[in-house]
Amino acid sequence: MKNYALIMLMALMVTVGSCQTKTKKENAELKQQLNDLKAENDELSRASSKMEVSINKYKKTLDEIDKNLAGIAENQVLVGELKVELKESKNKDVAKTINDRISHIRAMMENSKIKIMNLDKSLVQLRKQSGVKSDEILSLDKRLDETSKRLIDKQNEITELRNSLEKQLEELGVELENQVLLATELKNKLNRAFYLVADSKTLKEKEIVNKEGGFIGIGQVKMLNAEAADSLFNKAKKDQLKFIQLDSKKAKLITNHPEGSYEIVENSDKIERLNILSPNDFWKDTNYLVIEIDRK
């Protein structure tokens, strides 16, 4: 009986030792991955103004961000599992692994944010280079907005997870790294709107609408003018732009906005204004609004 107990004790010691070795190895690998990510983030920040611009590069970077988001989700699940283990074992090595994984998540989120902002800066140049592919550019721009929203949602989830672990880790002498703040910068990007109200002649002269009726790849148009600069438009925040004064005999939306998301207010002899009823729906397909008017 004593021999059996001794064997069981030795087996337990081997198991614990093996687990500790595995945990330490995992921590070392995580630290290396984290160092690599931080180095890449520093390099991206320094080289943002020199970023190569092409549709293929844009797509590749979006794919890299998607990969980051998948990695964040995977680490999120693992931290959840380690959280249960930590509650039962109170093991400092487990606490360190949790901290390293959260630091890794933080670095991936920062990496994604930098890439999103760099892609956003490159969009105007991309339009100028690839006007004939403006439909494809619009699709990439929409995908970038969707990716930004996913990253903001993921930050909220990670913040909740981090806050739920903070006290447990502090008790074991492990201090969590400060969380990365993405929401403000990304939300500001997503909240931008560009609008212009002008007659047909002005739209053509400014090359916002070309002779086939195209407008920088947005909405209902068939032909595209990718060189229309954002500086030609009025800038606004989507959540603050409630209406646009028109005061014209006729008004026609060149860009595409869902029915029911806006209304045209008229009186007996003129069109007074456009009211935006549902900003989320109104700006769902485009960040641009072009209204062609006729005041005669």
Of the residues 126, 158, 189, which one is the last residue of a structural domain?
189
pTM, entire model = 0.75
Give pLDDT tens digits for 102-137.
999 999 999 999 999 989 888 877 777 765 566 777
Tell me what the mean pLDDT of segment 65-86 comes to. 94
Q: Quick check: 251 and 244 in contact, CB under 8 A? A: no
Share of the chain above pLDDT 90, in %: 36
Shared domain check, 108 and 50: yes
pLDDT of residue 55: 86
Which residue is associated with the tokens 């860009």?
Answer: 255
Q: Quick one: 103 and 83 in the same domain?
A: yes
Q: Is residue 234 domain-shared with residue 173, that is, in the same domain? A: no
230 and 217 in a common domain: yes
Render pLDDT for 36-56 as a digit per residue (tens, 0 to 9): 777 777 776 665 545 567 888
Residue (of 234, 230, 281) closest to 257 by Cα position = 281
Q: How many domains does the chain have?
A: 2
Distance CA 189, CA 118 (A): 12
Q: What is the pLDDT of residue 88?
A: 85
26 domain-assigned: yes
Which residue range is the domain that position 274 belongs to? Answer: 192-294
Place of tokens 């991206």: 44
pLDDT higher than 70, residue 27: no
